[in-house]
Amino acid sequence: MAQSRIVRRIDTLGRVVLPIELRKTLGIDEKDEIEIFMEGENIVVTAYSAVCLFCGFPGELIDMKGRPVCTHCANELHSWGV
């Protein structure tokens, strides 16, 4: 997608629609999770990719009390009796 400015209005509930061109470029589909954060004075929106809470590894994650943890860190926690 060519760099261009797109202006969208925020509705009364604080929502904004991401244009289809941006979603296609980022590979974001309906019901996908996105990550929103501040970088300086800018709002950044990216496709969300879960990583291990402890080491940042992006693959082979399991859910431990609602948090993503890789199998290596989960095994290490288990060996500590956590």
Domains of the chain, first to last: 1-49 (2.10.260.10), 50-82 (no CATH)
User: Quick one: pLDDT at residue 2?
Assistant: 54
At 43, give phi and psi (nearest 5°). Answer: -100, 125
Q: 26 pLDDT band (50/70/90 cuts)?
A: confident
Report pLDDT for 55.
Answer: 94
pLDDT of 10 higher than 60: yes
Q: Are 52 and 69 in contact (CB under 8 A)?
A: yes
Which band of pLDDT confidence, cut at 50, 70 and 90, is reported for residue 1? very low
Give the pLDDT confidence score for residue 3 in this predicted structure: 63
DSSP string for residues in the chain: -----------TTS--PPPHHHHHHHT--TT--EEEEEETTEEEEEE-----TTT---SSEEEETTEEEEHHHHHHHHHTT-
What is the overall mean pLDDT for the chain? 88
Determine the distance from the C-alpha atom of residue 64 to the mean position of all C-alpha atoms in its chain, rounded to a whole number: 18
